[in-house]
C-alpha cells in the first residue's frame, strides 16, 4: 500500500512538474512576444498613452479638479490621434528622464529645450516652439546690459535644467558668477521668490517668464544668456517607432491648426499688458474683489458660469468700481445699459448686487443664442463679444465671415471680421451698420487674460 501511494505520488508529481514546465514555457513565450512589441504597439495594445510631465503653469495643472495646461492639451490631442486614453505621470522634474528610461512612461512633454547633454540619453521630436533663456530680476534692481555685468552675482535655478547647464558652461568659460541649485522647485516658484525679493536672480525660458509676469508684475525679463532654443518632446533613445509616431502627430497638428489653436490659447495674449496694468489688476483683486466675491459666486452659480470668469468681466468693465460710468452712460460694476437693466428686471444699476445679477443674466442670454456652436469655450467667446458690442454686430461679423471664407462658428473666424465693421466697404453691406469692431476683440482677449490669471493664481506656486 505504501509503495502504491509512493508510486502514485511520484506519478502525480511528474504530471504537475510537467504541467509547470509547460506553463513556464508558455509564460516565457508570451513574455518574449511582449518584449518584441515596440512602444507604439504596446500603447495600442493597452489603449493608454503615458505622458511624463511636470506640474507647472506652462505644462500641466489642475483647475476645478480638471487637468489643463499647454503640454497636457497637446498630449491629449496626441492621444486622440492614436485613438487611446491619456495617462499623466508627474514624478517631479528631476525624475522625469529616469522614469522614461525605466519604461514608466512613453514620452516626456514638459517644455524641454533640446540640449546636447540630453541628446545622449533621449531622442527629440520635431520642435514645436522656440524660446530663449532670460535673466529674471526685480524691477528695483538694475537691468544688466551685458552678461559680463553679472560678475559675482548669485542665480537660483532648478537642478538638471537647461539653465543649470548654461550657467555651468558660462562659469567654466571663466565668467565669475555663482548659482544655487534647487531640486524639483518649479521655475515660476523661483520667479515668485524674485518678485517677493527673497532672491535676486533666476533664469527662465521666455515663454515661462511671460506667463509668470501675469502673476508677478514686479519682475523684469532681462537680457538673454543663450541663443534661441527649440522645445520638443522626448522619447527613449533609439525608440524609432515612437519618435516617428510623435513626429507624425506634430505634422498633423500643424496642418490641421491644432498646434496653433492650443498655442494661441495659452500664449496668444501674454505680451499685451504692461507692468502697471498687471500690478493694478493684482492690487484690485486683493483690495476690491473680496467685497463682491460672494455675490459674484452666488449669481454665477445660477447660470453655470465660472465665478472667476465673471470677476474678470467685472474688472474689465469697471475695475471693481460700483459707481463707474462710461461716456455712453452705462453704469455700475458690469456697465449695464438702461435698456438692459429694464430687460433684466433691475431698478438700480449702481447697486453692486443688482448690477452683477443683471450682467450675468444678460451674458447667459447671449450664451444661449449661440447654442448651435457645439464647442462651449468658443460659444462663450461669442457671448462675451455680444456682451461688449451687441448681438446684432456679432451676427453681422458672422455673416461677413461666411462671405470672406472664414469659419463662422469659431472665434478665429469672427475675430478676423469684427474689425471690418469699422470700414464702410463692409459695414454698408450689414444689417446693423458701423461698429468699432476692434474693441470686442481686445475686450475678449483681455478678459481671457484676467480669467487665466485668476484660474492659475494658485497653480503659479504649485509644486
Which residues are annotated as catalytic?
A: 317
Q: 239 with 39: CB under 8 angstroms? A: yes
Rounded to whole angstroms, the Cα distance separating 105 from 118 reads 17
Q: What is the dihedral of CA 363, 368, 370, 375, to 10 degrees?
A: 90
Helix, strand or coil, per DSSP, at residue 404: helix
Q: Which of 141, 95, 97, 104 is nearest to 119 (CA)?
A: 97
30 contact partners, CB below 8 Å, separation of at least 6: none
d(CA 11, CA 170): 75
* Residue 182 near residue 194 (C-beta atoms within 8 A): no
Tell me the three state secondary structure of residue 372: coil
Question: From CA 223, how far away is CA 147, in angstroms rounded?
Answer: 8
Q: How far is CA 132 from CA 125, 164, 210, 364, in A?
A: 19, 14, 11, 42
Q: How many residues does the chain have?
A: 463
Cell 544688466 sits at which residue? 144
Q: How far apart are CA 237 and CA 338, in angstroms?
A: 66
**First-residue to last-residue Cα distance in the chain:** 73
Q: What are phi and psi of 135, to 5 degrees?
A: -75, 135
Query: Rounded CA gap, 245 and 222, in Å?
Result: 38
CA atoms within 13 A on the CB side of 91: 17
Q: Look up residue 328 and give its three cell numbers.
A: 455712453
Coil, strand or helix at 334: coil
- The three grid cell numbers given for residue 248, joined into one nine-digit string: 507624425
Task: Report how far residue 182's alpha carbon sits from residue 234's, in angstroms, rounded to the nearest whole number.
Answer: 23
235: burial class by Cβ within 10 Å (0-12, 13-18, 19+)?
buried
User: How many angstroms separate the CA atoms of 3 and 439, rounded?
Assistant: 101
Side-chain-side CA neighbours of 123 within 13 Å: the count stands at: 16
The strand pairing partners of 179, in sequence order, are 155
Amino acid at each position: 500500500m505504501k509503495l502504491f501511494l509512493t508510486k502514485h505520488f511520484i506519478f502525480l508529481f511528474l504530471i504537475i512538474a510537467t504541467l509547470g514546465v509547460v506553463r513556464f514555457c508558455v509564460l516565457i513565450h508570451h513574455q518574449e512576444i511582449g518584449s518584441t512589441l515596440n512602444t507604439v504597439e504596446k500603447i495600442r495594445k493597452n489603449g493608454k498613452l503615458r505622458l511624463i510631465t511636470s506640474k507647472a503653469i506652462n505644462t500641466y495643472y489642475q483647475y476645478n479638479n480638471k487637468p489643463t495646461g499647454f503640454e497636457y492639451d497637446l498630449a491629449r490631442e496626441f492621444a486622440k490621434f492614436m485613438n487611446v486614453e491619456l495617462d499623466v505621470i508627474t514624478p517631479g522634474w528631476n525624475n522625469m528622464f529616469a522614469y522614461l528610461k525605466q519604461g514608466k512612461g512613453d514620452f516626456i512633454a514638459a517644455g524641454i529645450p533640446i540640449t546636447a547633454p540630453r541628446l545622449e540619453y533621449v531622442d527629440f521630436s520635431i520642435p514645436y516652439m522656440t524660446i530663449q533663456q532670460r535673466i529674471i530680476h526685480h524691477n528695483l534692481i538694475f537691468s544688466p546690459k551685458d552678461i559680463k555685468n553679472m560678475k559675482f552675482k548669485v542665480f537660483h535655478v532648478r537642478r538638471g535644467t537647461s539653465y543649470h547647464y548654461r550657467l555651468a558652461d558660462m562659469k567654466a568659460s571663466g565668467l565669475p558668477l555663482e548659482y544655487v541649485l534647487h531640486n524639483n522647485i518649479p521655475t515660476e516658484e523661483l520667479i515668485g521668490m524674485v518678485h517677493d525679493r527673497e532672491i535676486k536672480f533666476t533664469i527662465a525660458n521666455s515663454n515661462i517668464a511671460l506667463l509668470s509676469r501675469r502673476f508677478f508684475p514686479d519682475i523684469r525679463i532681462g537680457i538673454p544668456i543663450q541663443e534661441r532654443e527649440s522645445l520638443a518632446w522626448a522619447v527613449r533613445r533609439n525608440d524609432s517607432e515612437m519618435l516617428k509616431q510623435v513626429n507624425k502627430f506634430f505634422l498633423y497638428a500643424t496642418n490641421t491648426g491644432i498646434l496653433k489653436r492650443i498655442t494661441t490659447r495659452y500664449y496668444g495674449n501674454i505680451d499685451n499688458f504692461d507692468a502697471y496694468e498687471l500690478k493694478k489688476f493684482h492690487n484690485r483683486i486683493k483690495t476690491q474683489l473680496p467685497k463682491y466675491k460672494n455675490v459674484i459666486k452666488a449669481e454665477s452659480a445660477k447660470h453655470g458660469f465660472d465665478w472667476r470668469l465673471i470677476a474678470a468681466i467685472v474688472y474689465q468693465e469697471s475695475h471693481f468700481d460700483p459707481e463707474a460710468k462710461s461716456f455712453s452712460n452705462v453704469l455700475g460694476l458690469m456697465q449695464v445699459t438702461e435698456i438692459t437693466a429694464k430687460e433684466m428686471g433691475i431698478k438700480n444699476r449702481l447697486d453692486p448686487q443688482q448690477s452683477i445679477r443683471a450682467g450675468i443674466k444678460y451674458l447667459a442670454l447671449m450664451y444661449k443664442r449661440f447654442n448651435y456652436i457645439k464647442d462651449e469655450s468658443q460659444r462663450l467667446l461669442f457671448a462675451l463679444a455680444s456682451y461688449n458690442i451687441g448681438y446684432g454686430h456679432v451676427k453681422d461679423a458672422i455673416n461677413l465671415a461666411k462671405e470672406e471664407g472664414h469659419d463662422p462658428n469659431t472665434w478665429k473666424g469672427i475675430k478676423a471680421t469684427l474689425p471690418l465693421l469699422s470700414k464702410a466697404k463692409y459695414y454698408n453691406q450689414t444689417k446693423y451698420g458701423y461698429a468699432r469692431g476692434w474693441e470686442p476683440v481686445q475686450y475678449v482677449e483681455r478678459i481671457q487674460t484676467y480669467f487665466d490669471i485668476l484660474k492659475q493664481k494658485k497653480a503659479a506656486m504649485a509644486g
